[in-house]
Structure 1
């Protein structure tokens, strides 16, 4: 049975209308009617993890993410440090599930951490990011987030290992964020739902999931951000494709693959991102549209310019 456009408009966007549309057209159409983005495969981007079996390990997923996730404003460090246009809330609504959060000490606040790109303060605090994550997860309890929390060690607000650990402790217990996190070992999706999985890119004695920009017991990471040669962006694309291929060829690999699509190396992030996407990432993913893959964490710059890639990565979990 079809729905006339006049009836769809008459029902409107309220809860009753959305429920009626959902009942007649199914979940993808209901998401569309409610103003929610959906992937080409018909998956609502704000709740895509909720459609997956909770027994899956996070290691079995493809998780789109952002690089330098809070670096929205070129006034805070020039275009060199401008990597995102969407803020964290919109990134999460659009399907991003990995956040790259880099901290130094916050001037004038001896217990707090600010978000930085090197020594450029991004005018947002760690507690602001955590509150945004908590609000999203409360509204979308079927989802989980993965967060790289990095000691940026830059500029006048750089912190040594002991002081960074003390401030993290202050956030967990003094400010009450401990219950937001999953700390130890790769969980199943069911165990991680409603939580932020902490990926510790800072020295610690706590047995956390320890980040690596190369390889360790937890990660196998491609993060080439600078190369020599006559075609550095072409070389970056080849590194990206090789990591995709490695992940596809090793479905039982016991580490989390990470494949950064971002590149600096003398280019503005906006310029390098477009070139790598056009020359390598989109052709690779487009040629494998019907192929399920666990590509792991895939952080990118400016997903608003590359929504097609973001949504293709989400759909990799459902083929």
Structure 2
């Protein structure tokens, strides 16, 4: 999907206006969200700050969002609509993993835009990074884990070398390098105030390299399409099996990832609700008093499933 330069400029100006208005509305929303506490009594905007800084990130349960910036169905369709909360509210409500997928941005030869496949989400990578930086300055006890993916889609797809060049432009040309932790799983104390970069793009830099299956860093369940007539029940079984795998292997030297989202021909809202009702909520509610390091748990529409989001946060404190 091409983006004309005049449209880019118009959207950028609109984004500034929206950010100003959203700053006022978002501040009120953030204040309201800042008063949110989990059933276990943890303030959602600062829950990591109450944990021992000596804990490895591998020892945590980290609620997250899938396709974190796909907030408006007009920027794609309802098939690509996965979130209602913007990034600032996600962070205020306790989300600590963001799924950020980028292509190039027409008319801006050094920049990356956030996309769902080839559908531009009208937000740039620097906007997301600024939102994370603002949150972390306000809550220095927290960290954000960020999957940064080369989406390789549409007319703005970038080859490996060009994507790497643009990432370097963000780090050094735009001054974001000091925002990131790059190498190896840190302790929470070392990660506080930082975005932990999970690189879902080819690179020669020795970063924490994402896997949608298994590699040296990750053990990931990301089944998003299944044949047959029982797809959602099968996906639910995959989710439960990954929860069990994480629970039964507390010393496992990789990060578990368990996507609660599913596409496969269903509306994201429909699949999300069904999976939460049939599999996720029953599993977690039956184990309320059981501490677990479930790793990263990305979901669609956490605003519809605040109970699940908060139960995941509370797993770190049982």
Q: Normalising by the residue count of structure 2, what TM-score does the alignment of the two structures yield? A: 0.90
C-alpha distance in 1 between matches for 2:212 and 2:238? 14
Q: String of CA shifts for 1:58-114, please: whole Å, max 9, x gaps.
A: 000000000000000000110011000000000000000000000000010000000
Shift of the alpha carbon at 1:169? 0.1
C-alpha distance in 1 between matches for 2:190 and 2:90? 23
Map of 1:43 onto structure 2: 42
Map of 1:273 onto structure 2: 272
Shift of the alpha carbon at 1:159? 0.1
Map of 2:108 onto structure 1: 109
C-alpha distance in 1 between matches for 2:33 and 2:235? 39
Structure 1 residues 33 and 160 mapped into 2: Cα distance closer, same or farther (>3 Å)? closer
Shift of the alpha carbon at 1:131? 0.1
C-alpha distance in 1 between matches for 2:171 and 2:253? 29
Question: Tell me, which stretches of 5 or more residues in structure 1 are unaligned?
Answer: 1-31
Superposition pairs for residues 260-299 of structure 1, below 5 Å?
260-299=259-298
Larger Rg: 1
Map of 1:6 onto structure 2: none
Shift of the alpha carbon at 1:34? 9.4
Q: String of CA shifts for 1:19-55, please: whole Å, max 9, x gaps.
A: xxxxxxxxxxxxx999610000000000000000000
Shift of the alpha carbon at 1:230? 1.4
Map of 2:141 onto structure 1: 142
Pairwise CA RMSD of aligned residues? 1.1
Structure 1 residues 180 and 268 mapped into 2: Cα distance closer, same or farther (>3 Å)? same
| 1:312 pairs with 2:301 | no
Structure 1 residues 205 and 35 mapped into 2: Cα distance closer, same or farther (>3 Å)? closer
Map of 2:299 onto structure 1: 300
| 1:238 pairs with 2:237 | yes
Map of 1:123 onto structure 2: 122
Question: Tell me, which stretches of 5 or more residues in structure 2 are unaligned?
Answer: 1-30
Q: String of CA shifts for 1:202-243, please: whole Å, max 9, x gaps.
A: 000000000000000000000000101211000000000000
SS class of match (1:136): helix
Q: Which moved more, 1:32-41 or 1:242-251?
A: 32-41
| 1:194 pairs with 2:187 | no
Give the total of aligned pairs.
288
